[in-house]
Amino acid sequence: MGKHHRRRASHLPKVAAGAAPFALLLAGPATGWAATAPAPSGDQHESSYLSDFDSGHATAGHAGATDYVSFIKGYVAAMNHDVSTADFDGGQAVADTSQSLDGALDAADQTTVGTDGSTDSNSFAQGLIAGTEAQRETVQYGDFTAMHDAAESGEAVFEAAREFQSTPQGAVRAAQSLTGASTADRASSELLGHGDHSVLTSNAQHLEQAAARDESAAFDPVSGTLDLTSEESGQAAGSDASHHLVQLGRDFTTVTSAAEQAEGGLTRTAGFTGDENGNAQGYAGMDGDGTFTRTAAQAVQAGDSTGVIGSDQAGKGAFTGTLESVRDENGTVTTAAAGAADGVFAQENRASGKLGPLSAAGISQQVAKGEVAGTGESTVNPADGKTSGSAEGVAEGSAADHTGGEIGVDGVLKLSGSAKTEASGSTSFEQNNSYGWPEEPVTRHSGSFSHQNEASVELLGGQPVGGGLEISAPPLAVTPGLTY
C-alpha cells in the first residue's frame, strides 16, 4: 500500500536568491543580469511514499513434532524531486534537487519440538537502509555559464542468523553469525565559464566498513566431545580526491589534482576441541593488513611552455600470528607458535618543464622493505616433565634510492646524470632445547651495499660522452667507467 502524487505550480523559483554569488563572480555583465527580474517560468514537484509491513505467527502439529513459526517483514521507499526554472532576457536559471530513502526488514523464526524431546530452531534477520541526495544549480547568461553539482549517498546493511539443535540424549549444537556493512559517498563540482575561459573544481570522498562474526558450539555427552569455534573480522577503507582546472583561452591552462586512499582489515580466530579420552586442541590466530596511497600533480601550460610537478607515495603492511596447543591421551602437550610481519614504502617525486628551446626533467625514487618472521615449538613429556623444542627467526630489510635528471637546449646541448644507491641486510637465528637444556643459538648475518654515479654530455646531437663510478661491498670494490 502507499500513495503517489504529482504537483505542478507556477511561482518565483528559489534559485533566484541563490544566484547572487554567481552575479558577483561574473562582475560587470552579471550586474546587468542581476538587475533583470526573472520572469516566473514554472516549478515541477514530484514525490512518492510507499510502504508495506506484515507480521504473523502460526503453530502446526504433525507426526512426532510441533512447529512454531513467526515472521515480520516490511519496506519503505520515499522520494522527492523538485525542479525550478526561470527564463529571463538572454539567460536561464535552473535548480534541480532530489532526495530518496529506502529501507527494508525481513526476519523469521521457526522452532520444531519433537515428542521425543528433540529441538530444532532456526532464525534469521536482514535489513537495509539507503539514502541519496543530489542538487544542481545552473545559471546561463549569454556566454557566461555557472554550475554547481553536489551528491551524497549512504547505505547500511546487516544480516544475522542463529540455529540450535538438541537431541533426547543431551547432545546440543548452537551457532550464530552476524555481518554488517556500510558505505558513504560525497561528490561536488563547480564550473564557471565564459566563452573559452573556464574554472572547474571537483572533489569526491568515499568511506566504507564491514564487520562479521561467526560462533559455534557443540557438545555430545555420549561421546564426551566438545567443539568451540569463533571468528571475527573487520575492514575499513576511505578515499579522497580533488581536481582543479583553470583555462584562459587556448594559451593558458593550469591543472591541480590530488588523491588519497587508505584501507585496512583485521581477523581473529579461536577454537577448542576435546574428547573424553583426554585429547584436546586449542588454537588462536590473528592477522591484519593495511595499505595507503597518495598522489598529487600540478601542471601549467602557457603557449608552447609547459611545467609538470608530481609525487606519489604508497605503503602497505601485514602481520599474522598463530598459537596452537595439542594434548594427547597420554598427557603429552605440544605447543607451537608462529608470527610474521612485512611492510613496504615507496615514493616518487618528479618534475619537468619546457620553456622555448630549454627543457629540464628530474626524478627521485625511494623504496624501503622489511620483513620479520619467527616460529617456535615445545613439547612437554608427562613422564619426566622435561621440555624439548626449537625456535627460529629471520629479519630482512632493504632500501634503494635513485635520482636522475637532464637539462638541455634543443639540438645544441644536453646534460644528464643519475645516482643510485642500494642496501640490504638480513639476520637469522636458530636454537634447540633438548630435555630441558637449551643449546647454543646459531645466528647468521649478511648485508650488501652499492652506489653508482653516472653523468654525460651531448653536443649538437652527437654521441654522448660521459663516465661514472660504482662502489660495492662486500667485498669492497671501486669501478670507474667511461663512455664515448
Tell me, what's the pLDDT at 24? 26
Is the pLDDT at 4 greater than 60? The verdict is no
Distance CA 148, CA 93 (A): 12
Q: In this predicted structure, which of 31-45, 79-93, 125-139, 220-234 has the lowest mean pLDDT?
A: 31-45
Tell me, what's the pLDDT at 7? 33
Distance between terminal CA atoms of the chain? 86
Distance CA 65, CA 461 (A): 95
Residue 284 β-bridge partners: 270, 323
Is the pLDDT at 30 greater than 80? The verdict is no
Distance CA 443, CA 429 (A): 4
Is the pLDDT at 451 greater than 90? The verdict is yes
Higher pLDDT, 232 or 65: 232
Helix and strand element counts for the chain (H, E): 3, 20
Is the pLDDT at 215 greater than 70? The verdict is yes
Decide the pairing of beta strands 465-473 and 91-114: unpaired
Which pLDDT band holds residue 121 (cuts at 50, 70, 90)? very high
Q: In this predicted structure, which of 34-43, 47-56, 303-312, 396-405 has the lowest mean pLDDT?
A: 34-43
Distance CA 385, CA 233 (A): 39
Q: Which pTM was predicted? A: 0.82
Which pLDDT band holds residue 65 (cuts at 50, 70, 90)? confident
What's the whole-number mean pLDDT along residues 123-131? 97
Is the pLDDT at 5 greater than 80? The verdict is no
Distance of CA 380 to the CA centre of its chain: 45
Tell me, what's the pLDDT at 23? 28
What's the whole-number mean pLDDT along residues 257-266? 98
Length of the chain equals 484
Distance CA 349, CA 403 (A): 9
Decide the pairing of beta strands 465-473 and 442-459: antiparallel
What's the whole-number mean pLDDT along residues 56-63? 87
Residue 148 β-bridge partners: 137, 190
Higher pLDDT, 253 or 18: 253
